[in-house]
């Protein structure tokens, strides 16, 4: 997938400009708006630097230009440092002068409400009119360590050295540039490029990533995300990076509601679901990590190692010079559901042959054998060669601090293996961490980040297989939609809609509102529900009666239903009484489909019932999914044991369930569907299929 040449020119202007202008640079080098000049000089940027400040002849001892008109030659990249109200003029100026790209420091745009959004839109228009691209607003700048380009206002760049490395950071938080520069610097982790994308008014995370996918200085991408903007560009970036064999890791805020709210108010983004964002990232092979430092530490596990094709050994082997230290990692891995495997008999035998007299067990504890190069080396060689392990964890204790030649050197000497080694050092040992970083070994400062990074590595798989779309079924479902009058389909139409899609509904007949029964095509007991497109949640409106045993009871309870609902929801139009047989199966599940405002169509399957809802036991994927992926989703449910014959009970028809999940996910082909849900879907014993008992469909109407 070659990028057009102008993309390369843009990347050059952005990260390797021959000339930069600092618009509104302050004379005070300590001030935010004064820092970029100081940093560029300090780190020895070799290109032309043009300070622009209409109020001063010199800035920080250098000649300042009154305006861009006075600046000689062309400007590749301008950093606009003026206050919010002056940004528009500065952008217009830059565009007029043929600047290729401008980065904007000021905040107060889309994240500051409707007015700000409009101001931001004007910036994009002004830039676009001159063919100029924008980074930000609200951007702390752009860094390229290989060009000593520190076009940034982040205070951490006051550091004396700018360590070069092979990681590129793309961040929605400008603060993170300093966080990673300083934390990485202390332990030998350097960076290729760093960029603070701010509000992404123009250039987005995805577009910037895509233009760097073939960057020869970059081996992996680290994303710090508060939200997902322009998912299609992120998807393109991910595809290019995958093609180039470069992993992308992401830390994303928003696991909690408080965090989600902050992200929205902080970035002015739309509120999407965090889990939808997570499955979006995973679908595109972007691994989300849970801990901040994992983002800094885990990339070497993945660099140069393609995701596994299909299922493979997932066991983790552990070798340690400290049992207690290793136990912290193993305990945490257990919490994350990662299997720490005991060496096989063959591996145990090979360890013995290698002269390693350690107890066989989850941790190959070398404490008794003594901390020596030969012992550690033989242990690592043996574990790395063992087919039962997908990855080896090496935990090194106190010797890591003053004697890395004993147990750390052998790790470095094994680092070229196709299987990765994850290292946790129990003491503070920055020099040793630097040594490991220099040799491309993933080393972790905390047992928690170590386990987090390992789990992320093991989650990596090839892209999900393409889902097969039943086009005829989708077309039939569309016709049902087109005949439906409003935004919400009533239960009868919903049933027809899902039936068209290939998900069988429960039998039903519709009676008049007085519940008068002529004949019933199924036996008692039955359930009765008011039929109304205006009442999506019938139970809460008092519109459902269960376990009705006779025609007489049906009539009585139908009348109660109607009067209750009329009292509670007087505005609702009632179209009849829907009667269905009482249905039972092995389990009740919930299927959901939704067009997430950030990332698009997602499909959900969860255990049904109130408790499962409270426990949030559901699995989510980008839609559509194949039946195989649907089966994976079902397996993920904590309540899935119920489907596979829990405690001697009957097993459920998982194949039919997976088919239903795949079918509801095909709604991704019907953009007019905003949301759809089947709750409950009854799963019958194996071979018996599934039955949709109640459903809900929302369609978009102009």
Q: What is the DSSP letter of 18?
A: S
Least separation in angstroms between residue 427's CB and its own copies is 4
Question: Between the CA of residue 266 and those of 173, 262, 556, what are the distances in Å?
Answer: 10, 6, 56
Least separation in angstroms between residue 3's CB and its own copies is 30
Q: Where are the alpha helices (DSSP H) in 354-501?
A: 373-385, 399-402, 404-407, 409-413, 430-438, 447-459, 471-483, 491-501
Nearer to its own copies, 306 or 641 (CB): 641
Least separation in angstroms between residue 431's CB and its own copies is 12
**Please, what's the b/e burial string for 233-267 (b: 16 or more CB within 10 A of its CB; e: otherwise)?**
bbbbbbbbbbeeebbbbbbbbbeeeeebeebbeeb
Q: What's the CA dihedral at 350, 354, 358, 363 to 10 degrees?
A: -60
Beta bridge partners of 196: 141, 171
Nearer to its own copies, 213 or 450 (CB): 450
Type and span of the H or E element at 194: strand 191-196
Residues sharing a CB contact under 8 Å with residue 393, sequence separation 6 or more, in sequence order: 316, 317, 318, 319, 326, 329, 421, 422, 423, 424, 450, 454
Nearer to its own copies, 86 or 156 (CB): 156
Beta strands at 220-225 and 248-252: parallel, antiparallel or unpaired: parallel
**Which pair of structure tokens corresponds to residue 625?**
């999914």
Beta strands at 695-699 and 673-683: parallel, antiparallel or unpaired: antiparallel
**Which pair of structure tokens corresponds to residue 644?**
């596979």
Q: SS3 sequence, 312-375?
A: CCCCEEEEECCHHHHHHHHHHHHHCCCCECCCCHHHHHHHHHCCCCCCCCCEEECCCCCCCHHH
Nearer to its own copies, 183 or 476 (CB): 183
Nearer to its own copies, 626 or 679 (CB): 679
**Residue carrying structure tokens 């979006």:** 280
Nearer to its own copies, 107 or 124 (CB): 107
Nearer to its own copies, 4 or 648 (CB): 648
First-to-last alpha carbon distance for the chain, in angstroms, is: 38
Least separation in angstroms between residue 677's CB and its own copies is 15
Nearer to its own copies, 174 or 505 (CB): 174
Query: Do residues 272 and 598 lie in contact, with contact meaning Cβ atoms separated by under 8 Å?
Result: yes
Nearer to its own copies, 125 or 540 (CB): 540
> What is the rounded CA–CA span in Å between residue 85 and residue 66?
18
Could you tell me the sign of the dihedral formed by the alpha carbons of 33, 38, 44, 49, in that order? Answer: positive
Nearer to its own copies, 286 or 400 (CB): 400
Least separation in angstroms between residue 680's CB and its own copies is 13
Least separation in angstroms between residue 451's CB and its own copies is 10
Least separation in angstroms between residue 409's CB and its own copies is 16
Q: SS3 sequence, 91-133?
A: HHHHHHCCCCEEEECCCCCHHHHHHHHHHHHHHHHHHHHCCCE
Sheet-wide strand order for 576-581: 509-511, 576-581, 526-531, 544-548
Residues sharing a CB contact under 8 Å with residue 45, sequence separation 6 or more, in sequence order: 20, 147, 148, 149, 150
Nearer to its own copies, 318 or 503 (CB): 318
Least separation in angstroms between residue 370's CB and its own copies is 8
> What is the rounded CA–CA span in Å between residue 595 and residue 667?
9
- Omega before residue 129 within 30° of 0, cis: no
Least separation in angstroms between residue 49's CB and its own copies is 22
Least separation in angstroms between residue 269's CB and its own copies is 13
Least separation in angstroms between residue 179's CB and its own copies is 4
> What is the rounded CA–CA span in Å between residue 302 and residue 422?
11
Beta bridge partners of 62: 59
Least separation in angstroms between residue 507's CB and its own copies is 23
Query: Do residues 241 and 214 lie in contact, with contact meaning Cβ atoms separated by under 8 Å?
Result: no
Least separation in angstroms between residue 448's CB and its own copies is 5
Q: What's the farthest any 2 CA atoms get from each other in the chain?
A: 97
Q: Which residue in 23, 68, 70, 77 sits closest to 48, CA to CA?
A: 77
Nearer to its own copies, 105 or 531 (CB): 105
Nearer to its own copies, 171 or 494 (CB): 171
Question: What is the number of other CB atoms lying within 10 angstroms of the CB of residue 4?
Answer: 8
Least separation in angstroms between residue 488's CB and its own copies is 19
Nearer to its own copies, 225 or 414 (CB): 225
Least separation in angstroms between residue 182's CB and its own copies is 4
Nearer to its own copies, 55 or 638 (CB): 638
Least separation in angstroms between residue 185's CB and its own copies is 7
Query: Do residues 422 and 442 lie in contact, with contact meaning Cβ atoms separated by under 8 Å?
Result: yes
Nearer to its own copies, 125 or 331 (CB): 331
């Amino acid at each position: 997938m070659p990028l057009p040449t102008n993309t390369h020119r843009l990347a050059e202007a952005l990260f390797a400009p021959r000339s930069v202008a600092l618009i509104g640079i302050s004379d005070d080098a300590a001030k935010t708006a004064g820092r970029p000049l100081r940093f560029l000089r300090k780190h020895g940027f070799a290109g032309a630097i043009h300070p622009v400040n209409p109020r001063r002849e010199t800035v920080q001892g250098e000649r300042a230009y009154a305006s861009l008109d006075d600046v000689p030659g062309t400007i590749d990249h301008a950093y606009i440092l003026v206050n919010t109200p002056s940004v528009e003029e500065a952008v217009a100026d830059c565009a007029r002068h043929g600047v290729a790209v401008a980065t904007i420091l000021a905040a107060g745009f889309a994240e500051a409400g409707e007015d700000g959004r409009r101001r931001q839109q004007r910036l994009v228009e002004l830039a676009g009119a001159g063919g100029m691209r924008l980074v930000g607003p609200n951007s702390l700048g752009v860094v390229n360590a290989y060009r000593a380009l520190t076009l940034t206002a982040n205070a951490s760049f006051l550091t004396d050295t700018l360590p070069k490395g092979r990681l590129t950071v793309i961040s929605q938080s400008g603060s993170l540039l300093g966080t990673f520069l300083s934390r990485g610097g202390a332990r030998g982790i350097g960076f290729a490029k760093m960029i603070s994308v701010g509000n992404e008014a123009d250039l987005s995370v995805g577009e910037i990533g895509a233009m760097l996918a073939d960057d020869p200085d970059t081996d992996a991408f680290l994303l710090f995300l508060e939200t997902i903007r322009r998912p299609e560009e992120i998807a393109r970036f991910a595809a290019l990076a995958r093609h180039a064999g470069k992993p992308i890791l992401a830390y994303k805020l928003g696991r909690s509601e408080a965090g989600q709210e902050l992200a929205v108010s902080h970035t002015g983004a739309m509120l999407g679901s965090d889990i939808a964002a997570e499955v979006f990232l995973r679908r595109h092979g972007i691994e989300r990590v849970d801990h901040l430092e994992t983002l800094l530490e885990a990339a070497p596990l993945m660099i140069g190692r393609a995701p596994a094709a299909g299922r493979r050994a997932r066991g983790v082997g552990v070798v340690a010079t400290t049992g207690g230290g290793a136990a912290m990692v193993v305990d945490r891995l257990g919490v994350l559901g990662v299997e720490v495997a005991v060496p096989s008999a063959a591996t145990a035998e090979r360890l013995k042959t290698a002269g390693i007299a350690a107890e066989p067990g989850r941790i190959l504890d070398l404490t008794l054998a003594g901390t020596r190069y030969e012992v550690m080396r033989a242990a690592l060689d043996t574990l790395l060669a063992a087919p039962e392990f997908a990855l080896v964890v090496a935990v090194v204790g106190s010797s890591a601090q003053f004697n890395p030649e004993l147990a750390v050197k052998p790790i470095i000497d094994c680092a070229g293996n196709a299987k990765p080694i994850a290292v946790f050092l129990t003491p503070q040992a920055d020099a040793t961490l630097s040594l490991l970083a220099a040799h491309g070994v993933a080393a972790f400062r905390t047992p928690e980040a170590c386990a987090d990074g390992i789990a992320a590595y093991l989650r990596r798989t090839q892209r999900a297989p393409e889902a097969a779309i039943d086009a005829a079924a989708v077309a039939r479902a569309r016709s049902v939609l087109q005949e439906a009058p409003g935004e919400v389909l009533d239960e009868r139409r919903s049933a027809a809609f899902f039936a068209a899609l290939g998900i069988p509904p429960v039998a039903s007949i519709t009676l008049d509102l007085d519940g008068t029964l002529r004949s019933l095509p199924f036996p008692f007991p039955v359930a009765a529900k008011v039929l109304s497109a205006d009442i999506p949640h019938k139970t809460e409106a008092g519109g459902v009666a269960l376990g009705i045993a006779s025609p007489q009871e049906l009539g009585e309870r139908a009348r109660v239903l109607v009067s209750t609902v009329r009292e509670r929801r007087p505005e609702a139009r009632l179209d009849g009484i829907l009667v269905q047989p009482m249905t039972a199966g092995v389990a009740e599940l919930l299927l959901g489909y939704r067009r997430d405002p950030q990332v698009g169509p997602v499909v959900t399957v969860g255990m049904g019932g109130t408790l499962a809802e409270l426990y949030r036991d559901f699995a989510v994927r980008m839609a559509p999914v194949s039946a195989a992926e649907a089966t994976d989703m079902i397996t993920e449910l904590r309540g899935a044991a119920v489907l596979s014959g829990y405690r001697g009970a009957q097993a459920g028809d998982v194949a039919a369930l997976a088919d239903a999940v795949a079918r509801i996910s095909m709604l991704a082909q019907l953009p007019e569907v905003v949301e759809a849900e089947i709750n409950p879907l009854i799963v019958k014993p194996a071979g018996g299929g599934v039955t949709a008992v109640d459903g809900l469909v929302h369609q978009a109407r102009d």
